[in-house]
Amino acid sequence: MACNRSDVPIESDLSEKFRRLVEVGLALTSERNVPVLLGRILLEARRFTCAEAGTLYLVTPDGKLQFSVVQNDRLGHSEVLVGNDSRPITIEVLPTSIAGRVTATGMALNIPDVYALPDSCGFQFDSSFDLKTGFHSQSMLVVPMKTPEGGIVGVIQLINVRHPGAEEVTAFPKEHEELVLCLASQAAVALSNANLTRDLQLAYSEAIKRLARAAEFRDQDTGEHIERVSQYAAAIAEALEFPPADVSKILLASTLHDIGKLAIPDSILLKPGKLTDEEYAKMKLHPKLGADILAGSENPMLHLAAEIAISHHEKWDGSGYPRGLKGDEIPLAGQICAVADVFDALSSVRCYKKAMSLEEASEFLRKETGRHFSPRVVDAFFGVMDKISMIHSRFSA
């Protein structure tokens, strides 16, 4: 879409702009990754209006404004501040600030020159960013991101209309106000949907992990074993270049690898001494019992969990149980979980034994490669040893 030059009447391309707005709406509502979505929202709003800079604020649950995306073509700067590791800056919603005013009233503000605001208007431009960077803010279009239910989830602040090649900054034309308001509403819906999906996924994985931990706690000193095994397994899967969705599935499914122990009586599971042959035979039923609990579901995560449960005690050379599978007859997720499970058992303290050092445990993996463990999986494991150590130390801290 070409930007309007001031010599082209705005009205002539209004229908074209609306057409483009529908396209943008489609793109936004199908994006489910929240940080990607936020960057995209601001970029599209800037493209629409030829704004050379912009800021997207999100309204936090306690009613503050959070700097979430900052883009500035003039300074060559583009950053999404919300996501996994970053710590976004949160500011009070002062009704005397421009974004604060928009949040409080739910109305857009179209300001030709932020340095020429009359004192009487009741809000002011904060020039600290300009002073710090040498950037000169002039025109601004600031719109609320309103959901159809009327809630304000954020504010889009567009700065300086500058047409390609033009020197001068112009004001945002009145005709763009409605378009950007529409875009902001589409963005608000897209964001609510993406947040809902993320919250549901978080709730899902938290609930599964807790129940897995609860099931495990009959025979473990702590619930940390399954948490670590799950993180080790996910790290290995990443190293083996599993797609992100499959890594997430492994992360969750591997927490359930020992769920079959629920069906093993206390007298065997908790026996302090050595098991008799008969008791050991019963104990070795837990992979099959776990698969029975988990099998027969259409849920892909549970399906994978059943596969892991039944195959995590198989060995590469065929000497494992319950099916005595060999090499790549063993499902890959089971091969991965075997490495993660044994490595963690060796490298952590139990009530009846000390922990091996990471070096000793690694040495054991190396020695058992091609016997107990899949060579490919062990390779992948050592390829992410830094990550493995980090997970290990996170828990022992």
Q: Which residues of the shown chain bind its own copies in the complex (CB under 8 A)?
A: 14-15, 18-19, 21-22, 25-27, 29-30, 32, 147-149, 178, 182, 185-186, 189-190, 192-193, 196-197, 200-204, 206-208, 210-212, 214-215, 217-218, 256, 259, 262-263, 265-267, 293-294, 297, 299, 301-302
CB 189 within 8 A of CB 24: no
Q: Tell me whether residue 19 or residue 371 sits nearer to its own copies (CB atom).
A: 19
Q: How far is the CB of 390 from its own copies (least distance, A)?
A: 25
154-169 burial, b if ≥16 CB within 10 A, otherwise e? bbbbbbbbbbeeeeeb
Residue ranges of alpha helices (H) inside the chain are: 14-29, 34-49, 98-105, 128-133, 174-216, 224-239, 244-253, 266-269, 277-283, 286-294, 300-311, 332-347, 358-368, 375-383, 385-396
Residues 6+ apart with CB under 8 A from 299: none
> Residue 173 is encoded by which pair of tokens?
């034309």
Q: How far is the CB of 397 from its own copies (least distance, A)?
A: 20
Q: How far is the CB of 40 from its own copies (least distance, A)?
A: 13
Angle between helices 358-368 and 375-383 (to 10 degrees): 150
SS3 33: coil
Q: Tell me whether residue 170 or residue 192 sits nearer to its own copies (CB atom).
A: 192
Q: How far is the CB of 341 from its own copies (least distance, A)?
A: 19
CB 295 within 8 A of CB 259: no
Q: How far is the CB of 244 from its own copies (least distance, A)?
A: 16
Q: Tell me whether residue 243 or residue 375 sits nearer to its own copies (CB atom).
A: 243
In angstroms, the CA 166 to CA 178 distance is 25
Q: Tell me whether residue 149 or residue 241 sits nearer to its own copies (CB atom).
A: 149
Q: How far is the CB of 167 from its own copies (least distance, A)?
A: 32
Q: Tell me whether residue 107 or residue 202 sits nearer to its own copies (CB atom).
A: 202
Q: Tell me whether residue 115 or residue 217 sits nearer to its own copies (CB atom).
A: 217
Q: How far is the CB of 171 from its own copies (least distance, A)?
A: 22
Q: Tell me whether residue 124 or residue 192 sits nearer to its own copies (CB atom).
A: 192
Q: How far is the CB of 15 from its own copies (least distance, A)?
A: 4
> Residue 328 is encoded by which pair of tokens?
């790549």
CA gyration radius, the chain: 29
| 353 secondary structure, DSSP code | B
Q: Tell me whether residue 264 or residue 325 sits nearer to its own copies (CB atom).
A: 264
**Count of residues making up the chain:** 397
